[in-house]
DNA sequence: TAGGAATATTGCTATATAACTATGTTTCGA
DNA sequence: TCGAAACATAGTTATATAGCAATATTCCTA
């Protein structure tokens, strides 16, 4: 006993195997530094809304939406809906858990 | 000064975004435990040759060869040629470096 | 309640990935 | 030196991924 088999989350690895999604994830580390102002919602409380990320990414809105969906399904970001705004934020706990698991299981 | 920007190696992330390659990489952690005997070459010294990995993976030889090429180009495994045998081994240093970088840069 | 704004979803096309079979290359041994 | 063994590469096909435009959905506001 003692050796708990920790499986690497392959869905997360696939989510990270993308320049666009890595960029988004890193931008979300410092919203104030990486994005412009946001009309509604506090960066550090609610998160960053899609249109703001879209401006920074220079991609179509559906493309950004799809990337965020993949990041969300992988559990790397959380989602909060306020009115018609969808705010995304890094899930630091999940990210840390993934990194720890990867460190031992890889 | 101080903050050295460490870029995540996206080639490694793409290499890891594959069940087959993750399996191979983990099998290589314990060759004696995961593979049968090897006619030539010491598991822990030279590494594991392609045909042995192929038997375990249950894939065609070219498929295994392609996966090993991707792992090798990403720098996750080293390659040693002895006669007509090509031995692959984990590059533990490179793997550790990648994990460290990912931990801070993600 | 009609309209507009913010996102998600759909449909489509182009490119990347993964598997196979067939073939090429290198090396060793008879 | 001829043949077989061990891998790599090439060619092909099927599936996955990424982007776009168009459309649907939801919610606020006038």
Query: Is B31 part of a structural domain of the chain?
Result: yes
CB B36 within 8 Å of CB B52 = yes
- The two structure tokens encoding residue A77: 């970001």
Query: Is B5 part of a structural domain of the chain?
Result: no
Query: Is B20 part of a structural domain of the chain?
Result: yes
pLDDT of residue A2: 59
Indicate which CATH number applies to the domain containing B26. 1.10.10.10
> What's the rounded mean pLDDT across residues B90-101?
97
Q: Which residue is nearest to nucleotide C23 (CA to C1')?
A: B62
* Number of domains chain B contains: 1
Query: Is A95 part of a structural domain of the chain?
Result: yes
Pairing of strands A77-82, A48-49: unpaired
Q: Using the CB atom, is residue A43 less than 7 Å from strand C?
A: no
pLDDT tens, chain A, 106 aa long:
656 767 889 999 999 999 999 999 999 999 999 998 887 778 888 899 999 999 999 999 999 999 999 999 999 999 999 999 999 999 999 999 999 999 999 9
The residue among B5, B17, B92 with the most chain A CBs within 10 A of its CB, best to mutate, is: B17
A-chain residues near B3 (CB < 8 A): none
> What's the rounded mean pLDDT across residues B39-52?
85
pLDDT of residue B2: 58
Residue B87 CB coordination number (10 Å)? 22
Query: Is B59 part of a structural domain of the chain?
Result: yes
Query: Is A3 part of a structural domain of the chain?
Result: no
pLDDT single digits (tens) A74-103: 999 999 999 999 999 999 999 999 999 999
| CA nearest to B43, candidates B95, B88, B99 | B88
Q: Is B88 helix (H, G, I), strand (E, B) or coil?
A: strand
Query: Is B61 part of a structural domain of the chain?
Result: yes
- Partner residues linked to A80 by β-bridges: A87
pLDDT of residue A21: 98
Query: Is A2 part of a structural domain of the chain?
Result: no
Domain containing residue A62: 10-105
Q: Is the model more confident about A61 or about B45?
A: A61
Report CB contact under 8 Å: B22, A13: yes
């Amino acid at each position: 006993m003692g050796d708990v088999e920790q499986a690497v989350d392959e869905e997360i690895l696939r989510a990270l195997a993308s320049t666009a999604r890595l960029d988004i994830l890193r931008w979300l580390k410092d919203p104030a530094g990486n994005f412009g102002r946001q009309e509604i919602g506090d960066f550090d409380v609610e998160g960053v809304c899609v249109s703001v990320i879209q401006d920074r990414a220079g991609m179509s809105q559906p493309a950004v939406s799809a990337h965020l969906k993949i990041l969300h399904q992988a559990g790397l970001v959380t989602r909060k809906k306020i009115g018609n705004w969808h705010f995304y934020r890094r899930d630091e706990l999940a990210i840390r858990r993934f990194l720890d698991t990867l460190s031992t299981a890889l």
